[in-house]
Structure 1
Amino acid sequence: MEFNFILPKNFKEQSISHLLAETWFIPRKQRHFLRMKRHILVNGEPVNDNYRVSASQQITLLFDHEDFPELNVPFGDAKQAEILYEDEHLVIANKPEQMKTHGNSKDELALQNHVAAALKQPVYVVHRLDQATSGLVLFAKNQFVLPLLGQLFEKNKIHRQYLALVKGHFPKEQFIINQPIGNDRHDKSRRIVAKGGQEAITHVEVLQRFPHSTLIRCLLDTGRTHQIRVHLTHLGHPIVGDVLYGGTRNNRLMLHAQELYFKHPFTDQHIKISVDSQTFSENLPDFSAQKRPF
């Protein structure tokens, strides 16, 4: 594999060593291969770790198969992959409700397999959506970019916006839920708000009130398992259709990952992708009569 990059105009001068380890988060093993094989080029010339690079220079990285063993992903059905964005390094697809992000066994086909079939190459899972949740999922197209995208998620530099329909009404139009989340000792499938849990922060904005429910927008600062579902249940407002957390039964879980936005890690381009869900809209109260605020 060969990757070529033109460093953006606002790039801060730094050593090759810092660029690979701290800016692009390339794993130690792959950095070792690049260094030993002299597979790091600047403007076409091999350089060492101490070489300092600056804006507008071209960086070329060469990887052999032994550097990044290829992932074996069985191809699914390309027709089931709704791809909304793609470039050399990443792809964003729209996951329907009740489709898994990835299979739990080699024989189980999921969104990852369908996207791989559409691209005719393996893709790598960066983050996941619950099976019952619809919306945007980001995949890496190579192992080079995978750890970098993972770090961007950890540092809250990839922003995720969700729509949810919840039971009841809130006293405020906007608020922040800052409650740690941990495992439920009595049910391995559930999470709970717990003092010793991991930090979890959810921003909530009310979009529309219905007689017995409220449509809200949620923005995540963290990405804990079931975070939105746990936080809203903790407040006494479970998501409609979320029977695991006490919500009323519905045709589907009323949670949809509507938007992803972030700065591209290599080009500094601002990527913003949004998608609506027909089944989510159809399950809102008085769907045919109401004008939706999204």
Structure 2
Amino acid sequence: MEFTMTLPQQFTEMTVKDLLEKEWLVPRKVRHFIRTRKGLLINGATCHFQDLVHPGDRITVILETSDYPERQILLGDPSLITVLYEDEHLIIVNKPAGMKTHPNQPIEQDTLLNHLAAYLAPDHQPHVVHRLDKETSGAILFAKNPFVLPILGRLLEQKVIFRRYQALVHGKLTKNLTINKKIGRDRHDRRKRRIDPKGGKPAVTHVQIARSFSNQTAIFCQLETGRTHQIRVHLASIGHPLVGDPLYSQANRQRLMLHAYELHLTHPFTDQVISVQALPGLWT
């Protein structure tokens, strides 16, 4: 595997060691291989780990396949993939409602990851950065190689990957609000989560009203955290569960009315601002 990136003009000068360890989060074992094999080039020339890299430098990283062994993923149907954005390192696709993000068993072949693996084969293999519930549709980000995976994961943890959802809830909301309630596992149903003020993990959801109907409200939700079922649990906790939710309300239509409508991030290698909308949404 070989990757070449040109450092953006806004890049802060640092050593090769800091670039790999602190900026790109390359695992220690792989950093060792890069150093001993002289597997990093600056503008085509070999270098030392204490050398400085500067804005505009062209960085080439050369890796062995054994550094990041590929996993076995059964190939699905590439025609089921709708691409919203793609480059050498990452891909954003529009997930249909009712499709799992990834398999839970090695024999599964009908998840988004299986179909994306078929779409990217044989040159790349997808890696899950975050997930959407099976019932949720919309924009979802994958890494196309294991080198960029921890970097995208860090951006997600640092809350600099912006995600906005469309949702339809029961009842009439009268104002925008922020729900800040800890979420934990439901002790009586392993499929579910619940509000757990003592033992739960922090979870914050911002809710903005888009339009109101007689007994339902269309809203946008923006996440500060990414807990399992976060939007579903938070909205149910204030008496406005999602329409069509089979776990947290009385489902009375074909699908859960939750859609990952927008996803924005700054590319970790180019500083390009990537902004996508997963159309069509729940409403226009």
Q: TM-score range by the shorter chain?
A: over 0.9
Aligned partner of 2:235 among 209, 219, 232: 232
Tell me which amino acid in the other structure corresponds to 1:268.
D
Instruction: Report the counterpart of residue 70 of structure 2 in structure 1.
Output: 70
Instruction: Report the counterpart of residue 102 of structure 1 in structure 2.
Output: 102
The offset of 1:38, in angstroms, is: 1.1
Instruction: Report the counterpart of residue 181 of structure 1 in structure 2.
Output: 183
Unpaired runs of at least 5, structure 2:
none
Instruction: Report the counterpart of residue 117 of structure 1 in structure 2.
Output: 118
Is 2:46 aligned against 1:43?
no
Looking at structure 2, the residues matched to 14 and 193 of structure 1 have their Cα atoms a distance apart, in angstroms, of 44
Instruction: Report the counterpart of residue 82 of structure 2 in structure 1.
Output: 82
CA-to-partner distance for each residue in 1:188-210, whole Å, 9 max, x for gaps?
11111112311111111000101
The offset of 1:277, in angstroms, is: 3.8
Match of 1:245, SS?
coil
The offset of 1:97, in angstroms, is: 0.6
Is 2:19 aligned against 1:19?
yes
Matches within 5 A, 1:208-287: 208-277=211-280, 280-281=282-283
Aligned partner of 1:191 among 182, 190, 193: 193
CA-to-partner distance for each residue in 1:212-261, whole Å, 9 max, x for gaps?
11000001111110010011011111000112012442111000011110
Looking at structure 2, the residues matched to 72 and 33 of structure 1 have their Cα atoms a distance apart, in angstroms, of 24
The offset of 1:171, in angstroms, is: 2.8
Match of 2:114, SS?
helix
Match of 1:222, SS?
coil
Looking at structure 1, the residues matched to 151 and 189 of structure 2 have their Cα atoms a distance apart, in angstroms, of 33
Which one is further off, 56-65 or 175-184?
175-184
Unpaired runs of at least 5, structure 1:
282-293
What is the root-mean-square deviation of aligned Cα atoms in Å?
Answer: 1.3
Match of 2:150, SS?
helix
User: How many aligned residue pairs are there?
Assistant: 280
Looking at structure 1, the residues matched to 38 and 250 of structure 2 have their Cα atoms a distance apart, in angstroms, of 57
Looking at structure 2, the residues matched to 68 and 101 of structure 1 have their Cα atoms a distance apart, in angstroms, of 22
Looking at structure 2, the residues matched to 262 and 169 of structure 1 have their Cα atoms a distance apart, in angstroms, of 32
Tell me which amino acid in the other structure corresponds to 1:215.
A
The offset of 1:276, in angstroms, is: 2.4
Is 2:33 aligned against 1:30?
no
Looking at structure 1, the residues matched to 221 and 61 of structure 2 have their Cα atoms a distance apart, in angstroms, of 39
Aligned partner of 2:162 among 159, 167, 173: 159
Instruction: Report the counterpart of residue 286 of structure 1 in structure 2.
Output: none
Matches within 5 A, 1:125-136: 125-136=128-139
TM-score by length of 1: 0.92
Match of 1:66, SS?
helix
Match of 2:271, SS?
coil
Match of 2:252, SS?
coil
Match of 2:19, SS?
helix
Where do 4+ consecutive residues of structure 1 move more than 3 Å? none
Equivalent residues of 2:14, 2:54 under 8 A apart: yes
Match of 1:214, SS?
strand
The offset of 1:54, in angstroms, is: 1.2
